[in-house]
C-alpha cells in the first residue's frame, strides 16, 4: 500500500496543494482589486472637486481636524464623524458651530477657535459637502457617525 492510500500526503501532493491554493487565492485577490479599481471613478465624486473643495481640504489638513474628528471612518475618535455632517446639519449649522467654539461646556473636550474668515468657512463647508457626496455604500452605518 502506498503512503497516499494510507491517508497521508506525499510531499508532492502537499506542494501541489500549496501552489494550487496560492494561485487560486492570488487570482481571487487580483479580481477583487480589479473590481474595486473599476468602481472607484463612479464612487469618488472626483468630478465635483472645485477650488473651494481643495481650499477646504487644505484647511482640514493644516488645522489637523483629523486629529480629533473622523472623516469617512479615518481619524481620531475624540469628536464626531464628519463624513455626513453636511447632510445631517447643513452649511449654516456647520459655520455657526465652528464660530461658537470653544463652548466651555463642562466635561467636554474643547474644539479650538480657529478664527476662520467667511471665505475659509465657506471652503471648509464645501469640502464637507463634497465629502458627504462620496458614495460610501452607506458608511458609516449610524447616521450620527
Query: Per-residue pLDDT tens for 112-121?
Result: 999 999 999 9
Q: Higher pLDDT residue, 4 or 106?
A: 106
From the list 136, 135, 134, 122, the residue with the least C-alpha distance to 53 is 122
Whether residues 66 and 99 share a domain: the answer is: yes
77 and 32 housed in the same domain: no
Instruction: Look at residue 138 and tell me if it is in a domain.
Output: no
The reply to whether 54 and 13 lie within a common domain is no
Report how far residue 14's alpha carbon sits from residue 17's, in angstroms, rounded to the nearest whole number.
5
Residues 36 and 73 in one domain: no
140 domain residue, yes or no: no
Whether 98 and 115 map to the same domain: the answer is yes
Q: Measured over all CA atoms, what is the biggest interatomic distance in the chain, rounded to whole angstroms?
A: 86
Tell me: do 54 and 37 sit in the same domain.
no
The answer, yes or no, to whether residue 1 has pLDDT greater than 60, is no
One domain for residues 5 and 37: yes
Q: What are the beta bridge partners of residue 74?
A: 71
E runs forming strands in 1-138: 70-71, 74-75
User: Within 13 Å and on the Cβ side, how many CA atoms surround 126?
Assistant: 18
CATH of the domain at 117: 1.10.760.10
Would you state the cell numbers that stand for residue 83, as one nine-digit string? 463624513
Q: What is the pTM of this model?
A: 0.76
List pLDDT tens digits, range 57-98: 999 999 999 999 999 888 988 888 898 899 999 999 999 999
Domain of residue 28 covers 1-43
Answer yes or no: is 21 within a domain: yes
- What is the tally of structural domains in the chain? 2
Same domain, 25 and 75: no
Amino acid at each position: 500500500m502506498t503512503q497516499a492510500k494510507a491517508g497521508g500526503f506525499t510531499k508532492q501532493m502537499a506542494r501541489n496543494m500549496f501552489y494550487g491554493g496560492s494561485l487560486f487565492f492570488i487570482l481571487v485577490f487580483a479580481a477583487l482589486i480589479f473590481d474595486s479599481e473599476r468602481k472607484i471613478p463612479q464612487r469618488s465624486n472626483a468630478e465635483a472637486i472645485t477650488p473651494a473643495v481643495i481650499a477646504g481640504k487644505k484647511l482640514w489638513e493644516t488645522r489637523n481636524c483629523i486629529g480629533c474628528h473622523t472623516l469617512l471612518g479615518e481619524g481620531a475618535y475624540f469628536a464626531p464623524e464628519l463624513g455626513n455632517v453636511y447632510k445631517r446639519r447643513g452649511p449654516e449649522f456647520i459655520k455657526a458651530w465652528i464660530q461658537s467654539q470653544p463652548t466651555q461646556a463642562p466635561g467636554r473636550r474643547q474644539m479650538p477657535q480657529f478664527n476662520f474668515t467667511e471665505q475659509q468657512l465657506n471652503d471648509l463647508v464645501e469640502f464637507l459637502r463634497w465629502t458627504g457626496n462620496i458614495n460610501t455604500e452607506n458608511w458609516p452605518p449610524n447616521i450620527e457617525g
